[in-house]
Amino acid sequence: MMNETLTSLLNRPLRIGRRTIDSRLVLAPMTCLGHVAFRHLLDELGGCGLMFSEMCSAARVPYENRHSSAYFRWRDAEAGRLAIQILGGEPERMAAAARRIEREGLFGVDINLGCSVREICKFNQGAALLKDPAATARMVRHVREAIHCPLMVKFRTGWEDDARLPVDLARRLEDAGADALTFHPRVAPDVRTRPARWEYIARVKEAVAIPVFGNGDVFEPEDCLKMLQTTGCDGVALGRIAIARPWVFSQWRHDVASPAENYAATALRLADLIERYFEPVRALRRFKRYSAYLCANLSFGNTLYNCIRNAPDMTGVRAAVQAFFSNEPRLLTRPNVNLLR
């Protein structure tokens, strides 16, 4: 019954600006994880309503080669379902990046107001922009005036734990012309140590008329249903669980035990795809990054994680995966959050 309710909630189309998506479960942006190879895998497993790219530097987007860039890269087949997230602060640079994204025929543009890494905030980008809501809204308006495709913004609570901050910002973003918001209710310096405050999602949703995707700490279908029902949000953006279990989109949408729920086969397929899209050094680094999420599903996953981390190349990585799974490891119902960093 629970899954039936979830299925019907997720399978409602949602209008975002001039476009419509067919499902309300979307892939949250994740650096070094939500890349072109991972999204290719996701499509093979049934796809998802909308995917957000890793954050891309707005300063670089106008000059990137989409066929060789490590970040600003996609397959033609996914263009209509892919929003590119841009990171920056200077309005004209952000607008130039947005124009390139629109020209490429992608679904839309997403602005990053959440990254709180010091090296980024010191350039007044990412979560630093939460400190000056009026200036940030002006920047968003400038980008809005540059494009017609959907413009979205992903943001956090702010630098203090006060629900009035995201409510105020959400209203300003809507007024500046944003078509949809993704809200991750954590204060900026919190690296997912404390639980996300879902009650703030309800406050943001109430404050605006544009669609709001709730985000943060959804790991199981029960969590997803609870977020939708208790906050009233229009959709849910999945982060870490999407990497750990990429079949969740089709599983939760269609209420089926996915035949693809095969951890070893999925990991090996991703290894192939990563090698197809990235040069060897970057491919190995990206697979190692992903492997923490694979291992979070497994009892004694740390053992496999250490083997993969120490592997010298992709051949070693594949051997480690095959050896570990030949012993039929026990799967965890809820992933080990210590590995989901």
Give me the DSSP letters along 9-26: HHTS-EEETTEEES-SEE
Q: Give dist(CA 15, CA 166) in Å, integer.
A: 23
Chosen residue from 30, 37, 139, 212 binding ligand FMN by CB under 6 A: 30
Which phi and psi angles does 154 have, rounded to 5°? -115, 130
Chosen residue from 102, 179, 217, 234 binding ligand FMN by CB under 6 A: 217
Tell the smallest beta-carbon distance from residue 315 to ligand FMN (Å).
Answer: 26
Say whether residue 17 binds ligand FMN (CB under 6 A): no
In the complex, which residue's CB is closest to ligand FMN?
A: 239
Tell the smallest beta-carbon distance from residue 124 to ligand FMN (Å).
Answer: 16
Does 295 qualify as catalytic in the annotation? no
Say whether residue 102 binds ligand FMN (CB under 6 A): no
**Cα four-point dihedral sign 226, 230, 232, 233:** negative
Give the alpha-carbon dihedral of 211, 217, 219, 221, to 10 degrees.
Answer: -40
Listed in sequence order, the residues at least 6 apart from 338 whose beta carbon sits closer than 8 Å to its beta carbon are 296
Based on CB atoms, which residue is closest to ligand FMN, 188 or 329?
188
Tell the smallest beta-carbon distance from residue 294 to ligand FMN (Å).
Answer: 14
Say whether residue 21 binds ligand FMN (CB under 6 A): no
Chosen residue from 73, 141, 144, 154 binding ligand FMN by CB under 6 A: 154
Say whether residue 218 binds ligand FMN (CB under 6 A): yes
Length, in residues, of the chain? 341
Say whether residue 128 binds ligand FMN (CB under 6 A): no
Stretch binding ligand FMN (CB under 6 A), from 38-46, 89-97, 99-107, 235-243: 235-243
Listed in sequence order, the residues at least 6 apart from 172 whose beta carbon sits closer than 8 Å to its beta carbon are 133, 134, 136, 137
Token representation of residue 244: 């750990």
CB 38 within 8 Å of CB 246: yes
Query: Which of 115, 149, 224, 233 is the catalytic position?
Result: 115
CB 181 within 8 Å of CB 212: yes
The catalytic residue positions are 115
Q: Which residues bind ligand FMN (CB under 6 A)?
A: 28-31, 33, 54-55, 85, 112, 114-115, 154, 184, 215-218, 238-240
